[in-house]
Every structure is written in C-alpha cells, then in structure tokens.
Amino acid sequence: MIKNILFICSMLLIMTQCKPKEDSQETVVTERPEYAIVIHGGAGTILPENMTPDLEKQYKDKMNEALDMGEKVLAAGGTAIEAVEKTIHIMEDSPLFNAGKGAVFTNAGRNELDASFMEGENMNAGAIGGVTNVKHPISLARAVMEKSDHVMLSGEGAETFAAEQGLELVEPEYFYTERRWNALQRILSEDENKTELSESDPDKKHGTVGCVALDKNGNIAAGTSTGGMTNKKYGRIGDSPIIGAGTYADNNTCGVSSTGHGEYFIRYTVARDIAALMEFKGMTLEEAGDYVINKRLVEKGGTGGVVALDKNGNIAMPFNTPGMYRGYAKPGERELAIYKVAD
Ligand code: ASP
C-alpha cells in the first residue's frame, strides 16, 4: 500500500516537472543539432537610413563568408575552438568591423586591440588587452588559453608572448583605415572631454566581433575580438577581453560573446549572468539573454547585445540598440540580420 502511494506520488512529481511552461512562447530544442554557430559584428546605432544598399550587402557578404568558414570546420568534425578562431579571422581581416584590420583609434591615435577566448569543456580561458602589432588578436587569446599558465596578458608582455608563439605580427600602421581615423577626428573636434561619438554619428556603433560555436562532440567555445571604443584613453581596456563580461562558455549551460558599452558589461558581468541564470534559476537561454540585455542592462543604462547558444544548439541574439550585425547557422539553416525589425 505504502509502495503504491509512493509510486503515485513520484509519477505526479514527474508529470508536474515535465509540464511545459505555459507563459513561454519560445520553442526550446532539446535535441542537439550536429553543430551550431552564431556570430556578431557589433551593435549600436545601426539604422537603415544610415546605410546604403551596397554597404549593407558588404556586411552581409562578409558575415556569410564568416559563417561559411565556421560551418566548414564544424561539418568536417573540427572543434568549436577551431571554428571560432577561423570565423573570427574573416571578420578581423575585414575593415568593416572594429576588430583587427578595422580597429578604432585611441585618443592618442593608436590602435590597441583586446580579445578573449573560452572553452566550455574545461572552463579554460585566455585573454589579451592593449596589443598593437598582432594581426589576429583572437589567435593570441587562444594561445594564452592553450599555451600559457595565465588567463590574461596585456601590452608589451602579450606582444612578446605573441612573437614567441610565432603568431603573425604586423606594423601598427597595418590597422590604419581612413574611416576610423576620421571618426576619431570627428570626436576630437566636437569636444576634447567627450568619450563617445554623438548618437547621430554613423560610426556610433560597437563594431566588435564575436563568435560562439557548438561542435559535434557537444563542446562549446566562445571568442570576442575588438579595437575597443573610439577615443579611449589611458590604456583603457573594455569588456571584450574580460571573461564573464565579454566572453563566457560552459558546456553545461551556454556560450556567450558580447558587444556594447564595455564599462557596463564589465560591471554587470553580462556574459556570466546569462549562464548563471540558466544554471541557478533554470531559465532557458532566451529568457536569460532577454532578462540580462533587455531588462537589467536597459535599467542600468548599458547599450549593446550578445550572441549566445546553449548546449542543445538553441540560439539567442538579444540586443537593446537599434541594430546589431548578427547571424547563425546550423545544418540546413541560416539567418542573417542587421536591424531591430526583420530585414
Ligand atoms: N565592448 C567593446 C568595448 O567596450 C566595444 C564594442 O563592443 O564595440 O571595448
């Protein structure tokens, strides 16, 4: 008799736990696809009226090229780490994005690059801040993760490590682009003490790049690379190389790459908060991302967004700015978008 009661109780418990949430509209996939990959090329005041059809096409073509690269690696059974690194290289090599070649200028007229990498299988992480001569900062972050005893290196020391690791070095002039130089001149001519471009400035966007991938073995990796913010001073380092703010990956929950006003992303540990809400509160990726970006960050005045994927390949790309360059791919499925409203 007691056994029967216990059996009925446990069945009831299982049934209530399995009951689908009534207040959630999203479809949460619980069967993992063979692979998944998601990228961003920065968030900010990206509006159709500031864009020409040609420029829009250039961004979309480049994002497609980046996703093609990531899919190629993942479909062939490559690791999430390899996919993230190679996908980010495509965007670092393009002057369209504020990372690698297209990095923005500091107040002193230099390009100082930040990047980070994390793998979700073992919580390994690597990051670099303020490097001036490394062609692919994301590869240096990966080298710190895999080949050093440390998590974060900065400035000259990071550059020495890059040389020792045989990474491709360039003259600092390699990062010069007229568009970014002009953006710095605009900000300097407006107000010496200003730290940001004006809202109406077409370059007022956070053009950082990021990528999160899930490979065939169920491993998640995330990476972020940036030139930081135009007119940054005093060796300022943003969120992009801060694990838990700009980048996070944990196979048990999700991987995240951020873009936005770095000071807010650091203070509110944006990337880690999304994973923590899933871990400790049982939220879905979409719920957690939406809460952190569209509620908490908005309340605090922080602008930007993230791209993220969970261990089952669900994708979330929340942002609280008018636009974010973003896209994802899974076998037989791809989506690219720029503005808030579908484009
Ligand atoms: N988050 C970057 C930073 O603050 C900027 C960006 O996302 O574009 O350095």
pLDDT tens string 282-313? 999 999 999 999 999 999 999 999 999 999 99
Whose C-alpha lies nearest to ligand 1, atom 9? Answer: 228
| % the chain with pLDDT above 90 | 81
Average pLDDT over residues 236-262: 98
Q: Name the pLDDT band for 109 (thresholds 50, 70, 90).
A: very high
Q: How far is the CA of 18 from the centre of ligand 1 (A)?
A: 40
- Which residue in the block uniquely carries the two structure tokens 């370059």? 203
The string over 84-103, giving b where at least 16 C-beta atoms fall within 10 Å of a residue's C-beta and e elsewhere, is: bbbbbbbbbbbbbbbbbbbb
Whose C-alpha lies nearest to ligand 1, atom 7? Answer: 259
Please name the amino acid found at residue 289. G
Q: Is the CB of 303 under 6 A from ligand 1?
A: no
> How far is residue 38's CA from residue 330's CA, in Å, rounded to a whole number?
9
* SS3 at position 334: strand
pLDDT of residue 20: 40
pLDDT of residue 31: 85
**Domain locations along the chain:** 32-339
- The packing angle between helices 80-92 and 137-147, to 10°, is 150
Say which CATH superfamily domain 32-339 falls into: (Glycosyl)asparaginase (3.60.20.30)
Q: Is the CB of 203 under 6 A from ligand 1?
A: no
Per-residue pLDDT for 7 more than 80?
Answer: no
Per-residue pLDDT for 33 more than 80?
Answer: yes
Q: Per the structure block, which two tokens stand in for 111?
A: 């390009």
Residue 21: partners with Cβ closer than 8 Å, 6 or more residues away: none
Residue 165: partners with Cβ closer than 8 Å, 6 or more residues away: 140, 143, 147
Ligand 1 atom, smallest distance to 228 CA:
9
Q: What is the dihedral of CA 35, 41, 44, 49, to 10 degrees?
A: -110
Q: Which residue has the higher pLDDT, 206 or 57?
A: 57
Longest dimension (CA), the chain: 84
* Contact indicator for 209, 67 with CB cutoff of 8 Å: no
Phi and psi at 36, nearest 5°, equal -155, 150
Q: Name the pLDDT band for 25 (thresholds 50, 70, 90).
A: low
Residue 274: partners with Cβ closer than 8 Å, 6 or more residues away: 248, 254, 256, 285, 288, 289, 292, 306, 308
* Contact indicator for 228, 183 with CB cutoff of 8 Å: no
Per-residue pLDDT for 18 more than 60?
Answer: no
Q: How far is the CA of 201 from the centre of ligand 1 (A)?
A: 16
Average pLDDT over residues 234-238: 96
Average pLDDT over residues 248-264: 97
> How far is residue 304's CA from residue 317's CA, in Å, rounded to a whole number?
11
Q: Name the pLDDT band for 50 (thresholds 50, 70, 90).
A: confident
Q: Per the structure block, which two tokens stand in for 157?
A: 């020391």
Per-residue pLDDT for 4 more than 80?
Answer: no
Q: How far is the CA of 87 from the centre of ligand 1 (A)?
A: 19
Q: How far lies 49's CA from each of 95, 172, 282, 318, 333, in Å?
A: 21, 34, 40, 22, 29
